Each structure stands twice: as C-alpha cells, then as structure tokens.
Amino acid sequence: MNLRESAQLLKDILGLSYEPVAVKFLEDVVVLDGFELPSQRRYCQALMGARQGKKYLITADNLSCPAAAAAFGFSPLPPKLVSGEMPAKMGIFGNSKAVQNTLNSMTRLEMGRYRMIALCPLSEAPFEPDVVVVESAPEHLMWIALALVFEEGGRLEFTTAILQATCVDSTIIPFVTQRLNASLGCYGCREATNMAESECVLGFPVKDLNTIVHSLEKLNQKAIPRVRAKTIYKALLDREISP
C-alpha cells in the first residue's frame, strides 16, 4: 500500500479534518522540490502547517523554540531553560526544580546527528517518513491505537510530561523507541497553534502504518460504525423517556 492510499484511508475511515503528517529526519541539509524553509517557526507550528497541506523544512536556523531545538539535537538548552527559570515564571510548573526534573526526563536526539526535519502531508511525501503524526479528536486516536493491537492484543503504554507534546511525545519518542505514543498536548502547542481543546496528538513509526491501516479497514466493517451509531446509548435514552 502506498503512502497516498494509506493517508486517504486514514482520513476516510476516521473522518479526519486534517492531513496525517509525514516527518523525516535528515542528516544533511538538502533541497526538496516543493518544500519551503519557513521563517522562524516552532516545530508545533510547522506540524500545524503540514496537517493543513504545507511542506516545510526545519533546521537549527529557522526553529524558534529552544526546547525543541535541544530535543532534536540542533543546539543545547539555553541557561534559562536549564535552570528552570523561564517555564516557572510562565506558570507552567510550580517551581524551577519541577521544571528541571521534567526537562531532565526528556528523550532527545544525539546532538548534531540530524541537520534538517522535513514535514508534509503523508499523502504527498516524496520519501519514506520516519514518523507519522496525527492531531485529531481523541476518538480518532483511540481507533489508531486499537488498530495497532487489533491482531495480537495486549496493552499500550503512553508517556508524556505534558511538555513538548508534539516534538518529544509524538515525534521523537516514536522515532527512538519505534513504538506508538500519544499525548494530551502541552502549554506550547496549545498556545502557539490551532490545536483545538477537543484535539490530542499521536505519533507512530512508519513501520506500523500498513498494520494500522489494514486493521482500521477491519474495524470499520463493524466496530467503528456500531460505536458511532451509539445504539446502546440511544436504547437507554428511549427507556428513560418511555412512559
């Protein structure tokens, strides 16, 4: 199954309002046809643009979020982040020590290993992505997560610090661990992008794409339509209003 077909099935089955996003880590600075180097931008904003159809290239020079720059191995954390002073003053955490504990828990890429990140709609990716990111309603993300374990079962574990939700939680962790991860979002992405209060974010390594899409097709034969029809809930309502 090709990327365009997979992206279309994800959109059709789940009812996504935005595009699933393909993310690729590049060890060298390259030129990709149709991709632009935007002006100063946060990673979460580049992800927002990609889910709306844009094709972006992010480097150390145009990534404006220092926490994301450190996570991607572009540059070290600045002193005000290392000390925890800045996030504490912003009211994200109760004190600087809490910030330090959180930042010390972050999964980061090796410093200097990657020099560029390419983001675009999955359907238009001219490369095999490293990670697929979906920002959407929790119900949509639920079906993606279920699709991953549809054939073998088991439990899924998600990890988040409620900080760096798009860069670390939904991109770097799936890339490094090669496992799906979901996040509730964070202060940064909810302030700086159009992520709605009713949306969350999830990322998975591209190796899981075919499994997820094939399982979603099976779930869509019975489980998804039944849940969305809310037959049992409607029956409850009928009983409660009946004389």
* % of the chain residues with pLDDT over 70: 99
Tell me the pLDDT band of 86, cut-offs 50, 70 and 90: confident
DSSP for the chain, written as a single string: --HHHHHHHHHHHHT-SS--EEEEEESS----TT-B--SSB-HHHHHHHHHTT--EEE-TTTB--HHHHHHTTSSPPPHHHHSSHHHHHTTSSSSHHHHHHHHHT---PPTTT--EEEEEEGGG-SS--SEEEEEE-HHHHHHHHHHHTTTT---------SSSIIIIIIIIHHHHH-S-EEE---HHHHHHS---TT-EEEEEEGGGHHHHHHHHHHHTTTHHHHHHHTHHHHHHHHHHH--
Q: Mean pLDDT, to the nearest integer, of 56-84?
A: 95
pLDDT of residue 179 exceeding 80, the answer is: yes
pLDDT (0 to 100) of residue 211: 98
Q: What is the pLDDT of residue 243?
A: 65
What average pLDDT does the structure give for the chain? 96
Q: Model confidence over 90-137: pLDDT tens digits? A: 899 999 999 999 999 999 999 999 999 999 999 999 999 999 999 999
Q: What is the pLDDT, as a whole number, of residue 231?
A: 93
Over range 15-35, report the average pLDDT.
97
Q: Is the pLDDT of residue 58 over 90?
A: yes
Q: What pTM did the predictor assign?
A: 0.95
Least confident span in 49-53, 75-79, 155-159, 166-170: 75-79
